[in-house]
Amino acid sequence: MPYSLSVVVATPAHSGLRAALSYRSESALAPGTLVRVPLGKREVLGVVWDPPEAAVPAGIEERSVIATLDELPPLAAAWRRLVDFAAGYYQRGLGEVALAALPPQLRDLDPVQLARRLKRRKPDLSAAQGTAESGPALTPQQQAVLAGIAGTDADPGKPYLLFGATGSGKTEVYLQATARALAADPQAQILILVPEINLTPQLLSRFVERFGVGQVVAMHSGLTPPQRLASWLAAHAALARIVLGTRMAVFASIPNLRLIVVDEEHDPSYKQQEGARYSARDLAVLRGRLQAAPVVLGSATPSLESWQASETGRYQRLAMPERVGAGVLPEVRLVDMNLQPKRTLLAPALLEAIAKRVALGEQSLIFLNRRGYAPVLACTACDWKSDCPHCSAFRVFHKIDRTLRCHHCGLGERVPRACPACGNVDIVPVGRGTEQLEEQIAALLGSVNAPGEDGQTRPVRVARIDADTTRTKGSLEAQLAQVHAGNVDVLVGTQMVTKGHDFRRITLVAAVNPDSALYSSDFRAPERLFSLLMQAAGRAGRDAVQAGSSQMWVQTWNPHHELFEALRRHDFPAFAAAQLKEREAAGMPPFAFQALVRAEARTQAAALAWLQAARDGAEGLAPAGQVFIYAPVPMGLQRVANVERAQLLVESASRPALQRFLASWQEVLHGLREPGLIRWAVDVDPLAV
Ligand code: ADP
Ligand code: ZN
Ligand code: ZN
């Protein structure tokens, strides 16, 4: 007697409302089993879902499962519940989310090829356990935190917020918590999430060093498809004990998961910006509950969502306020730009401080979050500016190859010899990017000498790290190595250099122009700025010997802003309290819950019309007063690559009410038609509004 099975397959994004399709099989298959099934004219990968018994819609002929990948253990129930939740919560198709969570190569292999791959990776359990080297003796505050994470028996899936200053030894806590979990259970597996690929190699090497190369696999978008498959298979078959990866790794199949770490939990890169717009941090918390594994969210500047959760006790807060050893946090100096001569690049006092560091053989990091030479090129005779013809943005002047480049659509052109509008040859850069900063700092420090070999002196070396200098593979690593080796005196960079790096010789960090976030329309801009500046400050004085004299300089037009006041005292709790008070008064997250609907169309009118129809169609779907739907508006960056963009904000004081509304709204949204509409998407818990 054949069986009817429900199987999820990757159906196109918006037909995903049908959760699973029904297929016939000659044998009963457990939920989670991977199968190959026919879909239209193609043969695709599918996952048997539960309940496995499917009701066959009348009048539809059921097609048969083509093959079963029975070399692989079925995907666990906890994994299926995670995918169910993510699809439902982020308003996407179940099949889309389930299949996107699997390594792409798995879709292409037949059972025979797969069996071959599996044999290639022999279990390497020789090094499995109690073999983890113990690492340094923990500081008392590290011990207290580790003991705190241990007290989990009553509530095994509990989330912890590890609020630890930069350099307080959070990574060592992750390592020792991992060692302990592995020692406690010979089957245990651990998941470590990091925000960016950039930071993966460093942390990966620390875990490999500690636990052995056979124990750890990496998962991130920088891997080749065969590497990704190999990592996935090792985790799924419980051969790898430690899975370390970026946001996608939250969906890895890890059957014996006993601990999850989310490093730098505040980092916006945990939010996926395409397809199912999930937050890997939030899914990690859910996953901990599903698999009864404690979740450690670590940060020196937690997201205000997590901070608030630790205020109410939903997450347990564990604090490490002090740096390891004699390390102290850098002294913060605010430079009031109102008191500087006009057009000051670096205040004289800051320049002098940098020169002093150079003379001492110490390194400085100058931080400016804008790459290129100048954000705009303008004509001095008429009002011509370097607009991008395809976007509502300026093209950026890059001096190195004399181009104007749009950072949104990629359009690049040589700088015109004269103003395209009036022919005037005097066209000038307006504003400043890292390329210009590097050039000007090199000029300003031209007469300063650094100590060289044999008591000789040598000219100062200025280097820059940003997206432009690190385009080729391996170039970031190479440039960081130059900094670590001491071959750079002054490093200029974007936020790329402020995150996570364990620089040992940097004793001075300066932010030269951070004020724009204070005027942003995005209510999260101050939170992001504070975190960025604290992270940047965290790069200074990481070596205890020099820490005492390390400094963080901030040039600002608003030195009395409470954000900078809190920064000066390294007082995240005060900053968070002030922000949360404002957010509560204004009814904003984390005291309210939001979703955005974004529409892209040929014309702005079409985008707005589609959103207005969506708004009209929401009428009566939520009880009065529970869900507030704002009027559609053009997005801040309204046009990109000739596509017009608009959005509509939905808000509720109740997460369940918002969820119920969004679910019932789906059918309306899918049914709307508007000439000129290109695509639309829902973003639940959006990070940028
Ligand atoms: P964080 O991740 O909190 O910024 P790290 O874990 O990178 O801090 O630790 C900062 C530095 O202190 C690292 O060089 C690390 O090796 C060192 N360290 C951490 N814990 C200890 C310890 N218990 N004893 C000695 N050194 C430690
Ligand atoms: Zn002109
Ligand atoms: Zn453009």
Q: What is the DSSP letter of 654?
A: -
Rounded to whole angstroms, the Cα distance separating 199 from 204 reads 9
Ligand nearest to C-alpha 162: 1
134 and 225 part of one domain:
yes
562 and 605 part of one domain:
no
Atom of ligand 1 lying closest to residue 138 CA: 23
Alpha helix ranges (H) inside 485-561: 525-537, 544-547
Ligand nearest to C-alpha 396: 3
194 and 311 part of one domain:
yes
Distance 5 CA to ligand 1 centre (A): 52
Q: Which residues line ligand 1 (CB under 6 A)?
A: 136-139, 142, 164, 166-172, 324, 502
Distance 422 CA to ligand 2 centre (A): 4
- CATH number for the domain harbouring residue 651: 3.30.70.520
pLDDT of residue 541: 81
Atom of ligand 1 lying closest to residue 139 CA: 23
Rounded to whole angstroms, the Cα distance separating 446 from 443 reads 5
pLDDT of residue 110: 79
What residues contact residue 496 under an 8 Å CB cut-off, 6+ apart?
A: 198, 465, 466, 467, 470, 476
499 and 521 part of one domain:
yes
Distance 311 CA to ligand 2 centre (A): 57
Boundary residue ending a domain (88, 118, 148): 118
- φ and ψ at residue 333, rounded to 5 degrees: -120, 125
Type of residue numbered 272: Q
Q: The dihedral of CA 231, 91, 597, 608: what is its sign?
A: positive
- CATH number for the domain harbouring residue 42: 3.40.1440.60
Type of residue numbered 261: V
Instruction: Dig out the tokens for 399 from the structure.
Output: 């001096």
Distance 427 CA to ligand 2 centre (A): 8
pLDDT of residue 247: 97
Length of the chain: 689
Secondary structure string (H, E, C) spanning 380-404: CCCCCECECCCCCCECEEECCCCEE
489 and 510 part of one domain:
yes
Ligand nearest to C-alpha 210: 1
510 in Cβ contact with 553 (< 8 Å): yes
Residue with CA closest to ligand 1 atom 10: 167
User: Looking at the domain assignment, is residue 689 inside a domain?
Assistant: no
Atom of ligand 1 lying closest to residue 320 CA: 3
Distance 642 CA to ligand 3 centre (A): 8
Query: Kind of pairing, strands 242-245 and 159-164?
Result: unpaired
Q: 639-648 burial by CB neighbour count: b if 16+ within 10 A, else e? A: bbeebbbbbb
Atom of ligand 1 lying closest to residue 500 CA: 4
- Give the structural domain span for 133: 125-325
User: Phi/psi zone of residue 212: left (φ > 0), alpha (ψ -120 to 50 degrees), beta?
Assistant: left
184 and 319 part of one domain:
yes
Distance 323 CA to ligand 1 centre (A): 8
Atom of ligand 1 lying closest to residue 502 CA: 7
Atom of ligand 1 lying closest to residue 172 CA: 6
User: Looking at the domain assignment, is residue 212 inside a domain?
Assistant: yes
Q: What is the DSSP letter of 535?
A: H
What residues contact residue 59 under an 8 Å CB cut-off, 6+ apart?
A: none
Q: What is the DSSP letter of 13?
A: G
Q: What is the DSSP letter of 274?
A: S
Distance 166 CA to ligand 1 centre (A): 9
- In the Cβ-directed half-sphere of 462, how many Cα atoms lie within 13 Å? 22
Distance 658 CA to ligand 1 centre (A): 42
Boundary residue ending a domain (550, 584, 618): 584
Residue with CA closest to ligand 1 atom 25: 136
When divided into structural domains, the chain yields a total of: 5
Rounded to whole angstroms, the Cα distance separating 77 from 127 reads 29
Omega before 590 within 30 of 0, i.e. cis: yes
Instruction: Dig out the tokens for 96 from the structure.
Output: 């889309």
User: Looking at the domain assignment, is residue 172 inside a domain?
Assistant: yes
Angle at 673 between CA 668 and CA 677, to 5 degrees: 120
405 and 316 part of one domain:
no
Boundary residue ending a domain (402, 430, 458): 430
Rounded to whole angstroms, the Cα distance separating 222 from 125 reads 27
Terminal Cα-to-Cα distance of the chain (whole angstroms): 55
Residue with CA closest to ligand 1 atom 23: 138
Residue with CA closest to ligand 1 atom 24: 136
597 in Cβ contact with 669 (< 8 Å): yes
Pocket test for ligand 1, best of 484, 502, 572 (most atoms within 8 A of CB): 502
pTM of structure: 0.93
Residue with CA closest to ligand 1 atom 15: 169
Pocket test for ligand 1, best of 141, 146, 168, 171 (most atoms within 8 A of CB): 171
Instruction: Dig out the tokens for 573 from the structure.
Output: 């709790």
Residue with CA closest to ligand 1 atom 4: 167
Which residue is it, tokens 């005196």?
A: 489
Rounded to whole angstroms, the Cα distance separating 578 from 671 reads 43
628 in Cβ contact with 574 (< 8 Å): no
Type of residue numbered 60: I
Rounded to whole angstroms, the Cα distance separating 671 from 277 reads 21
Q: The dihedral of CA 405, 408, 410, 416: what is its sign?
A: negative
pLDDT of residue 342: 87
Atom of ligand 1 lying closest to residue 174 CA: 6
- In the Cβ-directed half-sphere of 428, how many Cα atoms lie within 13 Å? 7
Distance 383 CA to ligand 2 centre (A): 6
Q: 299-338 burial by CB neighbour count: b if 16+ within 10 A, else e? A: bbbbbbbbbbbbbeeebbbbbbebbbeebbbbbbbbbebe
564 and 458 part of one domain:
yes
Q: Give 10-residue mean pLDDT values along the chain (689 residues).
A: 86 60 90 93 92 65 90 95 96 93 90 78 50 77 91 77 94 94 93 86 88 91 93 94 97 97 96 95 97 95 98 96 84 95 91 94 93 96 97 95 94 95 96 95 91 86 94 89 92 87 88 90 93 90 73 95 94 97 96 98 97 96 91 96 97 96 94 94 95
Ligand nearest to C-alpha 406: 3
Instruction: Dig out the tokens for 471 from the structure.
Output: 């385009």
- Listed in order, strand segments (DSSP E) in 220-293 are 242-245, 257-262
pLDDT of residue 516: 86
54 and 99 part of one domain:
yes
- CATH number for the domain harbouring residue 182: 3.40.50.300
Distance 416 CA to ligand 2 centre (A): 11
Rounded to whole angstroms, the Cα distance separating 25 from 23 reads 7
Atom of ligand 1 lying closest to residue 164 CA: 3
What residues contact residue 351 under an 8 Å CB cut-off, 6+ apart?
A: 444, 445
Rounded to whole angstroms, the Cα distance separating 327 from 301 reads 19
521 and 455 part of one domain:
yes
pLDDT of residue 622: 85
Q: How many CB atoms lie within 10 A of CB 232?
A: 24
555 and 464 part of one domain:
yes
Atom of ligand 1 lying closest to residue 170 CA: 3
414 and 438 part of one domain:
no
